[in-house]
Amino acid sequence: MSGSNPTACILVIGNEVLSGRTQDANVQYLARRLGELGIPVREVRIIPDIAETIITTVNEVRARYDHVFTTGGIGPTHDDITSECVAAAIGVPWVPHPVVWARMRAHYGDERFNPARQRMATMPQGATLIDNGEMLTPGFSIANVHVMAGVPAIMRLMFEALASALPRGAPVVSRSLHAHGLREGDLAEGLEHIQSRYPALDIGSYPYFRETGPGVAIVAKGVEPAAAEAAIAEVAALFRGLGVEPVLGEPK
């Protein structure tokens, strides 16, 4: 779809998502924003707070993708081990970051800047802060790994602080239409022919079900807006040939 664009992998680190306690709220935000920046997400992994698993997985995916974005595991408690695991994966020491250390000590005072909080001021050597000047404890980037908080509001602040520094690819655009009263099985053959004529696009078909009956949404994604529009025009003709008037955009 966008062969020359940089690629991304999201690593969600935390037992709470794997156990079903927490609904992940970061993947969709990151996937959408990274797509807008022309850095399409190619894979997401959700893994537990186990050091060996984190280290192995970070190295596996950072070799495969241009960027790795991690969420979760950078707080002060015993289950927050992302930072030291990323240091181990990259092969650098895990050391106090002078800027964050000073900022946190000033904020908490010597007594409350305890060992748990000191861990949050400890980062892989050579890390670049993901900071907006207002975060007490920022995220960081080291090599091609970007380490962010798991709490969605904080993750978003961090990502937006980072976004402007990321080298962008061609933005991925999408064009869509939908129609009520159609089933995928009736349009699949025609849609496959359209996909084959636009190999640079990803054309996706998404059925939906309402009280009043089924419908289908078609989304064409790629880096060429004109191609996406042409493909969607062909899908509209396909829908009309099946006796259904399509509506531009996604279903409400």
CA angle centred on 9, ends 27 and 208, rounded to 5°: 45
Closer by beta carbon to a second copy, 181 or else 204: 204
224 interacts with a second copy by CB under 8 A: no
Q: Which stretch binds a second copy (CB under 8 A): 17-25, 93-101, 125-133, 224-232?
A: 17-25
What are the strands, taking DSSP E only, across 93-201? 94-96, 122-124, 128-130, 139-142, 145-148, 173-180
Interface characters, 67-106, with a second copy (x: CB under 8 A): --------xxxxx---------------------------
Spatial distance between the Cα atoms of 4 and 39, rounded to a whole number of angstroms: 10
DSSP conformation class of 168: P
Token code pair at residue 162 = 């980072």
Interface characters, 190-209, with a second copy (x: CB under 8 A): -xx--x------xxxxxx-x
Q: How far is the CB of 24 from a second copy (least distance, A)?
A: 7
CA 151, 152, 154, 155 torsion-angle sign: positive
Contact in structure between 162 and 146 (CB atoms under 8 Å): yes
- Amino acid at position 146, single letter: H
153 interacts with a second copy by CB under 8 A: yes
List residues near a second copy by CB under 8 A: 12, 15-24, 27-35, 40-49, 75-79, 108, 112, 114-117, 120, 151, 153, 172, 174, 184-189, 191-192, 195, 202-207, 209, 219, 221
